Amino acid sequence: MSNLIVDPNSRTISAQKNLSIKLLVFEIGKLTLALPILQVQKVVKHQDIHGSGLSHVNLAHLAQQELAVVDLHRKLFKVSLAEASPTKGYFIISKNITGEPLGIMVTKPPTIIDVSLEKIRQLPDAYRRADTLEIASHVAVVPQGETSLTIFILDLARLV
């Protein structure tokens, strides 16, 4: 879980039982996805995007910089978020593995939740290779009353 926690010095799982991580949680279609809050720079209102429309990566002009914007709805379901929802939402701004700003399009404001590290499991490689959710590295199952919420935690290295 090295991409999830900042403190690499925690050596034992038993020491991690009381630890939790803050996740920025959002929905794409019927999936609940998240990023560790430490990987998020900010959330901003949706801006106009530019691109050919053939890819899940587009471009937005944000303040004094150009921002690569990932349409996860297109990547996962082959239908752009703009086609699936007329609502302009938000960009979750993070950085990709090379340090460039990267935006993720969402329709609803994301929420922040605390998740115990013992509720987070690494996804099996076989599942990641076979499913469109190859972009997720971990999964968390969080109890919610009578049911539970399954949250797939994204791996920024696999988004683009």
Residues pairing with 25 in the sheet: 34, 111
Quick check: is 18 in a domain? yes
* Cβ count within 10 A of residue 54: 7
pLDDT of 8 higher than 60 = no
Q: What are phi and psi of 121, to 5 degrees?
A: -130, 150
In terms of domains, do 96 and 116 share one?
Answer: no
- Band of pLDDT at residue 4, cut at 50, 70 and 90: low
- pTM, 2 dp: 0.84
How deeply is 35 buried, as exposed, middle or buried, from its count of CB atoms within 10 A (0-12, 13-18, 19+)? Answer: buried
- Band of pLDDT at residue 130, cut at 50, 70 and 90: confident
Give, in degrees to the nearest 5, the angle at Cα 108 between 59 and 56.
30
In terms of domains, do 138 and 83 share one?
Answer: no
Top-confidence residue, 145 or 22? 22
Can you tell me the mean pLDDT for 63-72? 90
Alpha helices, H only, the chain? 13-16, 72-77, 81-84, 125-130
Nearest to 127 by CA among 97, 160, 152, 147: 152
How deeply is 43 buried, as exposed, middle or buried, from its count of CB atoms within 10 A (0-12, 13-18, 19+)? Answer: middle
CATH, residue 136:
2.30.30
In terms of domains, do 49 and 89 share one?
Answer: yes
Quick check: is 67 in a domain? yes
pLDDT of 5 higher than 50 = no
Lowest average pLDDT, out of 5-14, 30-39, 122-131, 135-144, goes to: 5-14
Q: How high is the mean pLDDT of the chain? A: 86
pLDDT in tens, 31-54: 999 999 999 999 999 888 888 877
pLDDT of residue 16: 52
Quick check: is 159 in a domain? no
pLDDT of 1 higher than 80 = no
Number of domains into which the chain is organized: 2
Q: Which residues contact 8 (CB under 8 A, 6 or more apart)?
A: 2
In terms of domains, do 49 and 100 share one?
Answer: yes
Q: Which domain does 90 fall in, by range?
A: 39-106
In terms of domains, do 44 and 54 share one?
Answer: yes
Quick check: is 137 in a domain? yes
In terms of domains, do 130 and 98 share one?
Answer: no
Quick check: is 129 in a domain? yes
